Structure 1
Amino acid sequence: MRDDTRGRVPFALLGVLLLVSSLTLAPTFVTEPAPNRTAVERALNQATAETQVAVRDGVSAAGQQAAANPVVTPAETPTGRVLNDSTAFRDALRIRVYHQVSNRLEEVNGRSGDVTVTASLPGVANVSDLRAAKHRVSVERAGPNETAMRATVENIVLTVRRNGAVVSTRYVSPTVVVPTQALMLHDQVSTYQTRLNNSLDKPGLSQRLTARLYPMAWARGYAQYGGAGIENVVANRHVSLAANGALLGVQRSTFGRSDPAGRRALTEATAVTGIEDIVRGSRGTAVSSDVLDRAEYKPVSETPPRPRTTNRPGPGPADSMTVGVNETAESAFRTVTVPSTLNETLEDAYTVEVALKTDSHRLAGGPPGKPPSPGSNWTLVDDRTTSSVATVGNASGRIGTPDGWHTVETFSRTVERRYTRTGVWQDSADRRYTTTSSTARYRVSVAVVGRHHGRSPAPNRSIRTAHDASASPLNGPNLADVEPKAMETLVGDAGGRDRLAEQVVDDSLDRTEATVTADRPPGLYDWVYRDLMVLRESVRNTTVSVERGSVGTFETNPPKELRERLRQRRADLADVPDTYDSTARKARAAARLTYLDAVLTDLDRQASARDSNRKRVDTQLTERTDGSLRALRKGLTARETPVPRPRPVPVGPAGPVRTRVDARTPYLTLAELDERRYRALEGSEHPLVARNTNVFTIPYGDAADAVVGGAFESSDRVRLATAANTLAAANQTLENESNATLAAKQEDLRQEVRVANGEMMTQLWLTVDEQTDAGKRESRAIVSEAMSAWETPEARALALTNGSAQDRVARVAGDRLTLTRVERDRLRLLLLGVDTPATKPTLGSTNGTASAVRTVAKDELSSALADAGRQKAQRVAKKRLGTDKLPAGLPLAPPVAPWYATTNIWWVTVKGEYARFAVSASHGSPGNPGARTTYARDGGNVTLDVDDDGAAERLGTADRVSFSAETGVVVVVPPKPRGVGDKDGTAVEESSGWPNAGN
């Protein structure tokens, strides 16, 4: 039985197509002419219908040709200059439409009897004709979801002839819609290239590259921090892998699907990268080439594998980290508890203001009158008055106490002031003197008043038991001795009560205000010190939570946030009562406030240093890369920016329009390729090139020095901890492999570390000698006993730099000298503050040893792989030849502040070019269901014989799809000397071919 299902077309779709055809081609189906129609009309109708078909066929063919050879950049030729730079593809398509339609119109021939009709467009003989031809054609996307193309050809000439003679002309401008996706595909590829070159703040390759590099860098960074044998946290092989995955992601969001060959290649490249990571940063050397040659891969499906859910080895950039006041609490404590400083604070709390308040009231008498004249002819030429005062007895009087003051003592006196007034009289040459006397009596009231303001930082509040010696918690005098001291200072120094009253009357009292300091109880210093120790722990535990990524990009300032947090807690931590129950309590409050202010000052200084470091880091980024902290922050934001969803499959007139991406090469490798592998290539090319800069490769002799600034006395010195870690790396390497060069450098560095240790230990026993009664010999013995816990120079150096040695010295001294709790604590803090330039080894010796460690490790890995292949290389790598101990990264941020984190930055730039990038779309009709439009860009020249002279003119070039993307990645780990960063000694990793991708 015959199968009637073959070639069957859905009736609904067939009906639509028939309806469309009946509307556009109606004149073709006219049967018998109407009685009133002339032969001319019949011929014109037939020609119009054939013209419509010719235009449709020409537009369809032009669309296919333009997509297959798209003009992206106009040629510098007369023909190419007809195209506008911004619309080159559309202009070339319009010219192709004109050319195709013009050729097909030659076949149009309407006939009725002796009447014929032909169709034509003006010929193209020169550039002016070509420009006019372009303007006769318009094209645009149309149809459902704009998957088709609408084109209009203006002013096609229909010429009517009867028996060969022209009788009339008619102009028609047909508009057709054809199911070709030339415009759609061009727009999509243009969007794809735009997204590939978008900056970090726009959707595209840079954002997706960032999103892929961040989890990779943080996972490897924390694994390295945890001790894994990782030399390069971010290597170019990782950049290549992330870039290709990002490219496929941009393809999916733009075209709805990605290149299946690219997906397969990405899966294989992931496996290759995993093997390369075993050999720890071989960076395309013979080591990695051997690994790649030996690797065998199983077939993989077109669908990329679903990522496995695994526990991350560490937190991510959005995770919070806790930053505390920590050692700042101790450094400020060490400053404010210096005996002279703390005693001054306590003395101020026991210091009060005292003053004299006086009142003088005249009871009787007064100054004398004018002296008597000697006679009628005498003239008074001078007049002088003298007086003397004398206390003549006690008096009863009262004087008010000013607000805020209290009365210490009051007394009153009766004071007489005796006046003698002498007049000088003149009569011709004679002169005579006459006198007169009088007495004035005054009542003088005096009050000695005081208030507890003084110079203390403690708030001025009342002390309820100020002058009660028994009320002090330390059994001290409180302020009980202020009254006699005030009387002695203000009254006794004035000559006593009588004399002071006399001075009030004759206005000769000089001193009316003073400060008086009461005696402090002997145990006050220790009592306040112990209280501050408790406060110190509360301050030390003050923390803020900040995002790790924001710390690394310097977007947040942890010391500043800590300062604000501590400022908010200041009142609670100071614990100042509304009224003081004793002067000792005021002294305690004063000491607490002084300490808290010292911590705030230190944090403020650290916040300023953080801002300065931010500027220095920005400078390093700018000088070493094309990046900046601003761009780095954009990358941090971009990694979480939602990427565009894959474009849904559009539906055209004939059903879903599915696209397929075909890239050559499907995986853009960093390796050099040629036409032997890919025919689309021209000679040798680098499809992808990358430049990867690790900004803070090592914390000595590199960018970190420029950031931390004052960390070193000179540029040729490094921190003792850095040298110690480098020495430890050398030791571990030499335990597994012998190497004369490394051994010599190790010995030089060990000697420098040993000398630095000796200088540090000398400073420690000198501190013990100064702060205790041990004496020099006993002080040396104490330090020697404490340091015996660490045997090797590097172990001693690390103990001396991380504080554990100082803690142990303080404990040994406390036990041997029977120190009090306060004395032990004070000694420990002073020991932690010991540091001199002599305790810093040289840069040259440290860097030389580090370089030798890396060389030995790489040579051993290469040798192991050459001898026995990958398995032995894996075993050698697992021995961790010491490179994992080498420090890297930027410490945040000694010496100004406690080390609360280590950060590092990688700035990555990738450039790439597809030898050929093609996208095809299905647009099959019921009669041709497999039809496709393919848009391909390969960099070739695009030509067209526009004037039909047999020689093609160059319109332009089908530029290759190329891109340049960049991003920055920051990783932040906790504060350990190992840090995070690339440890192979190469700060800038450039792939072969950089910076030129493609041909």
Structure 2
Amino acid sequence: MRLADDTRGRVPFALLGVLLLVTSATVATTQLTGTSDPTEPAVDRAMREATATTQTVLRTAVTDAARRAARDPITQPANTPYGDVLNESEPFEDALRVRIYLLVRERLGAVSASTGDVRARASLPAVDSPADLRAAKRRVHLSRAGPNGTALRVRIEGISVRAVDGERTIGEKRIAPTLTVAVPALELHDRAERFERRLDAGLTEPGFERRFTAGMYALAWVRGAAQYQGAPVANVVGTDHVALAANDAALGVQRETFGTTDPEAAHESRLAWGNALATDLTPGSIPGPLVDETLERGERGLRRLDDPREETTTVSPDVAADAALTAAAGETLDAVGRRTYAVDARVVSAVSPPETTVDRDARPDGNWTRVGATTRTDRSVGRGDDVDAPAASAPAGWTAFERAERRVTVRTVTTTRWRRGDRTETTTTVRVETYRVGLAVVGRHSPESRVARRGVAGVYERAGVRGGPNLRGVPARATDRLVVDRGGHDALARRAVAGDIDTSSRRLTGERPAELREWLRADLARLDREVRTVSVTLSQADVGTYAVSPPARLAARIRAKRATLLDAPATYDGVAGKARVAARRAYLDAVLAELDTRAAAHRERRATLNETLGEHDSSLGRVQESLDAAASGEGSSETAEARGPLAVTVDTAPTYLDVTPRPRADFGDGPGEVTPLDTRNVNWVTVPYGDTGGWVSRLVAGPERVSLRAAAGTLRAGRHRPDGSPRSDADREALRGEVRDSVAFVRDRLAGELRAEGACETTTDCRGVVDAGLGHWQTPADRALALANGSAAERVAATAADAESERRRLAAVLRTTAREALVEDAARPPQSAVRGVSDANRAALQRGIEEVATRTGEEAVDRTTQRYLNRTLDDVPMGIPVAPVPGYWYATLNGWSVSVEGTYERLTVRSRRAARDTVYVRDGSSVGLDVDDDGESERLGNAPKLSFEASTTVVVVVPPGRRGVADADGQQSESSPGYE
């Protein structure tokens, strides 16, 4: 039988040496027969010696077969009759069994032992069909051996040792020898398989995608921070960065799986990192600390990244406090005063059962007929110390202002007429009922109060805090209103007995101290300052990715501190003291209501963002998975165990997975080109109004409209643009007009609020005050940005008021008014007016960044260009502001959806044992063997090249402010040449 090693026609030169060895063994056996025990039968000696020689042949055959199986592994059976023999779940092991069987059978054909005329040979059944091969495979049993499982133990069944004399069989036996060889074929295959699995592992498992995500975060967060802090970084995430992270991740998986890496690959990765550092993270363009961090990361690679969520941001309730202070300082204080100094008063009564006497005439004797009757009732009221009437009970929470007792006598006289014939007579019945009636005028203080009823010291008797009269005159007024105006106590007593007394309440208001409003306002100012110190410290990454809700966290913190902030005493020191607590409660309620509203808006915005990201093959859940992957250690508990004492070397081709097309001839695969690595990254939000289309605008400002901040930033960034054209000048002028109109709209709102607050007498005067405050800024763009960030409100308030407390209050009122105005369409320029200026800005920005990158360290970049770069990156909003805008702005978020596809044209893993190498090669070659000895190779299968695909989402979160984070060249999607 001729053995064809594979379809590439390799010559099995090792077979020649083996044949020489077998021949010498045969000769030696034949020569030794003369020294054997002469009493042992010749057939026994021949069979024994043939069996002994078989062991030697088996060892060399198994060793060679194992090494060949490693050099040309099969991991995917061929769709052929002989390929179907291999089990899909363990094709490598089955192919190894087949190789061992065929090579052992071939080698046994050259083995024989002779004693005289007796010749003994060992053999295995021939293979002439797939069924024969399946049976042959089952005769070979494999297992691991050795203390670390790297050796190979083999047991072969069905070996027949036959002794013949001429053509006659004179003896036969079957053996199933077991032997162990130090060839780590199974271990090398297992490590290659583990390497492949980890290349394909998802974010939740140790492997490439997790390491790749960590590397992308390491690069993107450093570069994003550099851009935010002033570096002219054009692309936070570019193709080269994706390739760098992918190669570093692949090397990490090599190290984790094999215990080592391709040394040339590690060297090329370091060179690629240095090239990236030199080209787009130029030290002269980056703040010093970031340079140090970047260099350090370059030295150690991207294998470790501190948890991005450890970087925190502190959030305070300033905007909610503005809204609450605005409400509390106006109508809320008046309402608190009315409610706190209000009293409901009513009359209550208690009537005793009557004492009754009846005096009646006797009915006439005889047959008289009653023909009619008249009744007259008189009610008389008496008073005195002996009345002893029941006390009228005041309802719970009510106080008796005045009490009175009356005796009411009801005398009812009934006269009845009788007739008999022409005669008539009358009889009289007198019924007298005496009632004892208790009356009281009762009142309930602050019937609509929203604070706990804890009693008010001296509420009706003495003056309270701030020299106020409390409710001292209210009881007398209540008596006048409810008693005197209704006819006095006697009339009320009569109505009580008749059951028609009016018990409805009447609202009375006590006199409020002249200083009450200002006193409450000053107290609220103190509370406002205290509330603004309440804050929550949250992970900046969690805030930016909507994993936490800052307004919800703030609301929970304030609710936890509510009792302390309310500062309610055990007993109110006068009505003004109760008014103070009521005002505080109203203020805190307003703060919490605003935060709850913002929390609901935050949930809606999160849902909208998540839905939108779904349209771009991402989600906030995916973002959280990527953050978890970036922060979770990348190693595995399997690493040390996988290494064991077995030392291996790794060689990959290409050594560095490049995005540049390479000739196939570089890898011995014929004509054409291959691209080792294909990448694509999509920036969610580039410089506004570039490739992003409309979805960002919908998130930030609504359809067809742009926030005033974005429009003003775009206008201001174009002010120092180094190039100009009639068209671009016209676009800038048109945008300037839109911004000016929006500023005028917000200005009028501020003037109206000043008029409502009484800060000025006429609307014209109030507009003058606003204009004077805005005069600090010279251009429409600067004034618009001042209105958007709240600094304009401070200036206008300082112009309108002298006292510090009043300035603080007015500033809060004006900030709230401006925020409300900024969401209206009249304050948001149309997107069409912004696009032309934005496009021109973006083009100039890219040209300037390229100039900085190429000329840094050689000559100073033109000052106009440098100034424009700084202006643009400062003024043009980049990224997604994390908050329901306007008002809250917790952070700026941006993200990149990144995909990579890579292929190793060849992977070689080598292990040296007993001065010989076992080499495992994965290069995609087809593997065939001449199974049935017909001179043709039968295709059994192949081992596809190691390839992988991975995708991840990388987010960068920077603090709020003018400069956000984005790919500043405006190109949303960036792909390598080979990406499809």
Question: Out of 350, 353, 360, which is 2:341 matched to?
Answer: 350
Partner residue, 1:800: 787
For 2:492, the equivalent position in structure 1 comes to 500
Counterpart check, 1:752 vs 2:738: yes
Alignment match, 1:161: 164
* 2:551 counterpart residue number: 559
Go from structure 1 to structure 2 and tell me whether the alpha carbon gap of 1:459 and 1:54 turns closer, same or farther (over 3 Å shift).
same
Instruction: Compute the RMSD of aligned alpha carbons.
Output: 3.4
Work out which of the residue numbers 427, 440, 455 in structure 1 matches 2:433: 440
1:719 maps to 707
2:873 to 884, 908, 911: 884
Alignment of 1:643 with 2:643, yes or no, is: no
More deviation in 944-953 or 429-438?
429-438
| Shift of residue 394, structure 1, vs aligned partner | 4.3
Deviation at 1:552, TM superposition (A): 2.6
Q: 1:746 deviation in Å? A: 2.5
- 1:222 correspondence with 2:225: yes
Relative to structure 1, the CA distance from residue 423 to residue 52 in structure 2 (aligned partners, 3 Å threshold; closer, same or farther) is farther
Supply the distance in 1 between the matched residues of 2:476 and 2:552 (Cα, whole angstroms). 49
Alpha carbons 1:699, 1:705 under 8 Å: kept: no
| Other-structure match for 1:980 | 965
Offset at residue 73 of structure 1 (A): 1.2
Contact 1:229/1:878 (<8 A) preserved: no
Change (3 A) 1:822 1:790: closer
Does the aligned pair in 2 maintain the 1:469–1:475 contact within 8 Å?
A: no
Aligned to 2:608: 616
Aligned-pair distance for 1:818? 12
Are the structure 2 counterparts of residues 469 and 338 from structure 1 closer, same or farther at C-alpha, using a change threshold of 3 Å?
same
Residue in structure 1 matched with residue 842 of structure 2 by the alignment: 854
C-alpha displacement of 1:382: 8.7
State the distance in 2 between where 1:599 and 1:469 align: 35
Q: Displacement, 1:488?
A: 3.1
Contact 1:620 1:695 in 2 (8 A): no
| Distance in 1 separating the partners of 2:538 and 2:371 | 90
Partner amino acid, structure 2, of 1:227: G
1:753-772 maps to which residues of 2 (within 5 A)? 753-772=739-758
* Match among 311, 315, 319 for residue 311 of structure 2: 319
Q: Structure 1 residue 414: deviation in Å?
A: 2.0
Q: Equivalent residue for 1:899?
A: 889
Q: Is the 8 A contact 2:43 2:170 kept in 1?
A: no
Could you give the per-residue CA deviations for residues 518-545 of structure 1, whole angstroms, max 9, x where no partner exists?
Answer: 2222222221112111111211221112
Pairs aligned (count) = 929
Distance 2:533 2:906 in 1: 61
Q: For residues 818 and 612 of structure 1, do their structure 2 counterparts lie closer, same or farther at Cα, with a shift above 3 Å needed?
A: closer
Residue 247 of structure 2, aligned match among 244, 250, 262: 244
Determine which of 671, 674, 688 is the counterpart of 1:685. 674
Shift of 1:960: 0.5
1:954 alignment partner, SS class: strand
Deviates more, 1:556-565 or 1:670-679: 670-679
1:55 to 43, 54, 58: 58
1:102 and 2:89 correspond: no
> Which residue pairs with 1:292 in the alignment?
none
Superposed counterparts of 1:409-558, under 5 Å? 409-421=402-414, 435-470=428-463, 472-558=464-550
Indicate the SS of the match to 1:466. coil
Q: CA deviation at 1:411?
A: 1.1
Closer/same/farther in 2, CA of residues 776 and 71 from structure 1, 3 Å limit: same
Distance 2:753 2:563 in 1: 35
Q: Name the residue aligned to 2:921.
A: 936
C-alpha distance in structure 2 between counterparts of 1:491 and 1:699, whole Å: 74
CA distance in 1: counterparts of 2:316 and 2:29, whole angstroms = 85
Secondary structure at 1:542 match in 2: coil
In 1, Cα distance between equivalents of 2:301 and 2:158: 64
Q: Structure 2: which amino acid aligns with 1:801?
A: A
Instruction: Give the whole-Å Cα distance in 2 for the aligned partners of 1:753 and 1:461.
Output: 55
> 1:86 maps to which residue?
89
Q: Name the structure 1 match of 2:654.
A: 665
Identity of aligned residues (%): 36
Query: For the residues of structure 2 that align with 1:608 and 1:539, how far apart are their CA atoms?
Result: 21
Distance (whole Å) between structure 1 residues aligned to residue 83 and residue 372 of structure 2 = 119
Q: Which runs of 5+ in 2 are unaligned?
A: 1-27, 284-295
CA change 1:428–1:667 in 2 (3 A) is farther
Q: What's the offset of the Cα at 1:745?
A: 2.7
Separation in 1, partners of 2:297, 2:351: 104
Task: Give the structure 2 partner of residue 837 of structure 1.
Answer: 825
What letter matches 1:672 in structure 2?
P
Q: Superposed, which structure 2 residues align to 1:132-281 within 5 Å?
A: 132-277=135-280
The verdict on how the C-alpha distance between 1:120 and 1:498 changes in structure 2, with shifts beyond 3 A counting, is: same
What is the CA-CA distance between 1:828 and the residue it aligns to?
A: 3.8
Q: Deviations over 1:482-501 (max 9, x none)?
A: 20232234324533211111
* d(CA) in 2 for partners of 1:357, 1:88: 99
| Corresponding residue number in structure 1 for 2:934 | 949
SS in 1 for 2:907: strand
Query: Could you tell me which of 352, 355, 359 is aligned with 2:350?
Result: 359
Structure 1 window deviating more from structure 2 (535-544 vs 438-447): it is 438-447
**Deviation (angstroms), 1:267:** 1.1
User: Quick check: 969-978 or 377-386, which moved more?
Assistant: 377-386
Q: Which ranges in structure 1 are unaligned for 5 or more consecutive residues?
A: 1-24, 281-302
Cα 1:829–1:262 shift into 2, 3 Å? closer
Aligned partners of 1:916, 1:272: CA distance in 2, in Å? 26
Residue 681 (structure 2) pairs with residue 695 (structure 1): no
Which position in structure 2 is the counterpart of 1:580?
572
Return closer, same or farther for 1:45/1:305 CA change in 2, 3 Å cut-off.
farther
Comparing 176-185 with 506-515, which one deviates more in the overlay?
Answer: 506-515
Spell out, residue by residue over 1:42-73, the C-alpha distance to the aligned partner (whole angstroms, 9 max, x if none).
Answer: 21221112222222222111111111111121
2:907 to 904, 917, 933: 917
Distance 1:729 1:279, change over 3 A: farther
What CA distance in whole angstroms lies between the structure 2 residues aligned with 1:859 and 1:384?
Answer: 114
User: Which whole-Å CA distance do the structure 2 matches of 1:525 and 1:221 have between them?
Assistant: 51
Does the Cα contact within 8 Å between 2:566 and 2:585 map onto a contact in 1? yes
Which letter maps to 2:909? V
Structure 1 residues 131 and 506: alpha-carbon distance in aligned structure 2, compared to 1, 3 A threshold: same
CA contact (8 A) 1:44 1:160 kept: yes
Displacement of 1:279 after TM fit? 9.5
How does the TM-score come out when normalised to structure 1? 0.86
Q: Do the aligned residues in 2 keep the contact of 1:606 with 1:896 (CA within 8 Å)?
A: no
Q: Cα deviation per residue 1:354-382 (whole Å; 9 max; x = unaligned)?
A: 3433222357435x478854554356699
1:782 aligns with 2:769: yes
Q: Is the 8 A contact 2:43 2:171 kept in 1?
A: no
State the AA in 2 paired with 1:581: D
Per the alignment, residue 908 of structure 1 pairs with 898
**Mapped partners of 2:699, 2:584: distance in 1:** 31
Q: Secondary structure at the match of 1:145?
A: coil
C-alpha deviations, 1:591-622, integer Å up to 9, x for none?
11111111112212222222222222221222
Distance 1:704 1:584 in 2: 58
CA offset at residue 91 of structure 1? 1.2
Q: C-alpha separation between the residues in 2 aligned to 1:663 and 1:765?
A: 72
* Residue identity in the other structure for 1:443: R
* Alpha-carbon distance change, 650 to 199 in structure 1, aligned in 2, over 3 angstroms: closer
Verify the 8 A CA contact 1:349 1:458 in the aligned structure 2: no
Superposed CA deviations along residues 704-731 of structure 1, whole A, max 9, x for unmatched, are 975896864x511111111111122222
> Are the structure 2 counterparts of residues 438 and 260 from structure 1 closer, same or farther at C-alpha, using a change threshold of 3 Å?
same
Quote how far apart the aligned CAs of 1:475 are: 2.1
For 1:248, the aligned partner's letter is: L
Match of 1:288 in 2: none
Matching residue's letter, 2:407? T
After superposition, what is the alpha-carbon deviation per residue over 1:259-301, rounded to whole angstroms, capped at 9, x for unaligned?
A: 1111111111112222442699xxxxxxxxxxxxxxxxxxxxx
Which amino acid in the other structure matches residue 96 of structure 1?
R
The match for 2:24 is none
Displacement of 1:199: 0.9
2-structure distance, mates of 1:959, 1:432: 134
> Is 1:764–1:834's contact at 8 Å kept on the other side of the alignment?
no
